Amino acid sequence: MDPLRTGARLLSRGLRGGNAALTFVGALLAARGVLRWLDRPDRELLYSKRLKPGEAIKIGLVKE
């Protein structure tokens, strides 16, 4: 479950329908999703594999 997407959907549904409880839950979920999105780690694991002795791995990076 993606809290940002779910929260935005519930927030808009609550606002359109005039449902205060649904609006509140949607706003909380959306806020949690935004906070998680802003608090991403600086480093992220992209690839993991155990290498046998003598094996090598070559990594190339592309600058965008």
Residue 29 inside a domain? The answer is: yes
Residue 45 inside a domain? The answer is: no
Q: Which domain holds residue 20?
A: 3-38
Q: Tell me the pLDDT tens digit for each residue of 8-64.
A: 999 999 999 999 999 999 999 999 999 988 988 888 888 888 999 999 988 888 887
Residue 26 inside a domain? The answer is: yes
How much is the pTM?
0.62
Residue 11 inside a domain? The answer is: yes
Q: How far apart are CA 61 and CA 59, in angstroms?
A: 7
Residue 50 inside a domain? The answer is: no
Residue 62 inside a domain? The answer is: no
Torsion from C-alpha of 21, 6, 15, 40, nearest 10 degrees: 100
Residue 57 inside a domain? The answer is: no
- Tally the domains of the chain: 1
Residue 32 inside a domain? The answer is: yes
What DSSP state is assigned to residue 39? T
* C-alpha torsion sign, points 9, 11, 12, 16: positive
Helix (H, G, I), strand (E, B) or coil at 53: coil
